Every structure is written in structure tokens, then in C-alpha cells.
């Protein structure tokens, strides 16, 4: 593998804004990326909550191109999701991201078929072999599919070394993270992937970063900074309202609805439009509770949310 920048820190997964006609709103996306950058995070990622499963092939490439270009312009990291239902498609997406100049790809297994260990091994090895940039192996079983066995993750690390990172989302996250750490003698570089609800516990188990949603990335960055500074009390203060908010988000469509609502509330995007069919719509009472928790989170961080919402 060629020399690459370490992939670490807070790397929010971007939301994909849409116009009233259902097209990707490029202007709103660029505005969102600029706002995320202003929160002092390490970079950008695309992932399941970027509405990737609702994008056509050319739109997914368009999203990748805009995100990588913004990251390169502002000196941030970019991690582009390349997971697909076929190995051929995943390889094509991975190579496209590499050609764009992405710092890494994120690779989840197919979501419409349950693979056995041999099938998972072949899929991951073939895609990782096709590129030279780092690959974040995503266990997306919190949303879809089966979990990736610890033994297989260890095998991938033994084979590909520093080219692979891991983003475990299978429950229970903490104990499985420890199992992976112990199975790899501490070599596995891991990202927290629960949106931040497991960040404190995961940090204490040795992660290198987190990939939360973008809507309150300022709060996640504040938590991360507190943990890095050894200020666990401050991290727990922020974690309280954040965890309550995240506990209301139980599926991809819920994450999308809540994240877009909060991005709109903060003046980052103008529309919460998404593509249907959707399995969830925020009702007034849920919206009110999310807003109350957002206000508490703002106070816990120290007012940053209020200044962000005001465009300061």
C-alpha cells in the first residue's frame, strides 16, 4: 500500500439534501460540507444514512465527487462508502473513489443476501485487493445482515495489515470491540459506529475515531476532545442528552429524518426532503422531544449549538 494519511478522529457521515423535484441539491450539499468543516472535525464520510440505497449509480458518483473535492479543498479526510450487492459493483465504486483522491473507502457487505464466512471473506478480499488506499471494514449488522465474525476480521488484518480499519456495529458493541482488540493483540484500528451513544465506552477500549451523523457533529467533536484530554466528566455530561436523542433513532429512515430536521433547525439545509418510500416520518410529539434534547445538548456542550444555529 502506498503512503496514506492515518484515518482517525471525528469523521461525520454527510446527509444528502434533495430538491423539491427529488434531485441532489448540490448547492445545499456544498453548504452542509462547509458547515461540517467549520466544526473542526477531521473529515467527511458517506454511508448508509447518506441515503445511498436511494441513489442511482451516477448520483452516487456525483455525491462522492462533491465530498472528495470539498475534503481536498479544505485539507480534510474523505471516506467514501463502496459497499454493493455485487463484488463487481463494489470494486467499481472503490476504484472510482481512489481515482477521485479519497483517503479511504468504507465497505459494508451486501444487504440483500446473507453470506457465509467464505462468501464474506471472498467479497472483502476481492474489493480490498482492487485498491491501494485504506479500507474501513464496516459491520453494518446494526441495520442489515449478519455480523462479521471476529475471526474473519482478524484474518483480514493479518492479510492486509495497515490497509484495513474496522467499524463494528454488531451488538454488544463494547464486548465485541474488546474481543477484536484481544484477537489482534491491539493492532486493529477501530471506529465507533453507533452515532456516539457508545463513544465513551468505545474510547476506553482503544478506538481511533468515530463516524457519527453530521447534525450534531459539534457535540461529538466536543466529546472526543474531552476524552482525548482525559476530561471524562465533561464527556459524560455531553453524552447524557446525546444518548437520549440517539436512543430514539432505531432505523436508517429514523436517522435520516432526525438528522435532516436538526440540520434544518440549525440553518444548514433549507429542506428535509427525502426520497420515498420512507418507513418513518417525524410526528409533532417526537419532533418536540428531539428539540428538547437538542436544547439540553446545546447547554451541555456550552452553548455551541445555539451559536451554530445562529450562523455565528
Read off the pLDDT of residues 83-116 as tens digits, 9 standing for 90 and up: 999 999 999 999 999 999 999 999 999 988 889 9
Whether residue 256 is contained in a domain is answered as no
Whether 97 contacts 127, CB under 8 Å: no
Tally of domains in the chain? 1
pLDDT of residue 146: 75
Q: Is 101 left (phi over 0), alpha (psi -120 to 50) or beta?
A: left
Cα 34 to Cα 29, 40, 268: the distances in Å are 9, 11, 9
pLDDT of residue 221: 98
Whether residue 242 is contained in a domain is answered as no
Whether residue 282 is contained in a domain is answered as no
- Say what the pTM is: 0.95
Q: Quote the cell numbers at residue 182.
A: 484481544
Return the SS3 of 13: strand
DSSP code string of 120-172: HHHHHHHHHHT-SS-EEEEE-TTTSSPPPPHHHHHHHHHHHGGGEEEEE-SSS
pLDDT of residue 305: 47
pLDDT of residue 212: 97
User: For helices 217-228 and 232-247, what crossing angle results, to 10°?
Assistant: 150
pLDDT at 306 over 70: no
Whether 64 contacts 79, CB under 8 Å: no
Whether residue 30 is contained in a domain is answered as yes
pLDDT at 230 over 90: yes
Whether 293 contacts 244, CB under 8 Å: yes
Whether residue 52 is contained in a domain is answered as yes
Boundaries of domain holding 197:
9-233
Cβ neighbours of 184 (radius 10 Å): 18
Averaged confidence pLDDT in the chain: 94
Whether residue 303 is contained in a domain is answered as no
pLDDT at 310 over 70: no
Task: Specify the CATH number for the domain of residue 165.
Answer: 3.20.20.70
Q: How confident is the model at residue 145 (pLDDT cuts 50, 70, 90)?
A: low
Q: How confident is the model at residue 142 (pLDDT cuts 50, 70, 90)?
A: low
Cα 159 to Cα 136, 140, 150, 156, 267: the distances in Å are 14, 22, 14, 5, 46
User: For helices 150-160 and 117-129, what crossing angle results, to 10°?
Assistant: 30
Read off the pLDDT of residues 235-290 as tens digits, 9 standing for 90 and up: 999 999 999 999 999 889 999 999 999 999 999 999 999 998 999 999 999 999 99
Q: Where are the alpha helices (DSSP H) in 41-137?
A: 57-74, 87-100, 117-129
pLDDT at 309 over 50: no
The average pLDDT across 154-164 equals 98
Amino acid at each position: 500500500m502506498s503512503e496514506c494519511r492515518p484515518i482517525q478522529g471525528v469523521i461525520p457521515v454527510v446527509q444528502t439534501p434533495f430538491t423539491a423535484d427529488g434531485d441532489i441539491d448540490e448547492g445545499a450539499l456544498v453548504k452542509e460540507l462547509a458547515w461540517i468543516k467549520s466544526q473542526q472535525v477531521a473529515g467527511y464520510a458517506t454511508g448508509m444514512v447518506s441515503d445511498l440505497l436511494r441513489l442511482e449509480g451516477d448520483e452516487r458518483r456525483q455525491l462522492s465527487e462533491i465530498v472528495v473535492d470539498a475534503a481536498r479543498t479544505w485539507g480534510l479526510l474523505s471516506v467514501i462508502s463502496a459497499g454493493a450487492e455485487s463484488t463487481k459493483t463494489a470494486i467499481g465504486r472503490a476504484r472510482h473513489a481512489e481515482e477521485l483522491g479519497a483517503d479511504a473507502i468504507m465497505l459494508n457487505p451486501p444487504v440483500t443476501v446473507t453470506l457465509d464466512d467464505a462468501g464474506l471473506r471472498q467479497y472483502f478480499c476481492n474489493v480490498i485487493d482492487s485498491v491501494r488506499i485504506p479500507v474501513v471494514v464496516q459491520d453494518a449488522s446494526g441495520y442489515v445482515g449478519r455480523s462479521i465474525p471476529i475471526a474473519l476480521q482478524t484474518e483480514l488484518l493479518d492479510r492486509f495489515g495497515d490497509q484495513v480499519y474496522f467499524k463494528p456495529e454488531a451488538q454488544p458493541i463494547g464486548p465485541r470491540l474488546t474481543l477484536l482488540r484481544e484477537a489482534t493483540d491491539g493492532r486493529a484500528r477501530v471506529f465507533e459506529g453507533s452515532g456516539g451513544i457508545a463513544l465513551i465506552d468505545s474510547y476506553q477500549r482503544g478506538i481511533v475515531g468515530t463516524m457519527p451523523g453530521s447534525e450534531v457533529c459539534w457535540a461529538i467533536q466536543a466529546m472526543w476532545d474531552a476524552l482525548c484530554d482525559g476530561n471524562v466528566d465533561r464527556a459524560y455530561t455531553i453524552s447524557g442528552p446525546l444518548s437520549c436523542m440517539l436512543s430514539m433513532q432505531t432505523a436508517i429512515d429514523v436517522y435520516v429524518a432526525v438528522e435532516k430536521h436538526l440540520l434544518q433547525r440549525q440553518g444548514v439545509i433549507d429542506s428535509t426532503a427525502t426520497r420515498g418510500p420512507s418507513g418513518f416520518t417525524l410526528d409533532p410529539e417526537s419532533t418536540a422531544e428531539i428539540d428538547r434534547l437538542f436544547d439540553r445538548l446545546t447547554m451541555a456542550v456550552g452553548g455551541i449549538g445555539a451559536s451554530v444555529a445562529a450562523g455565528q
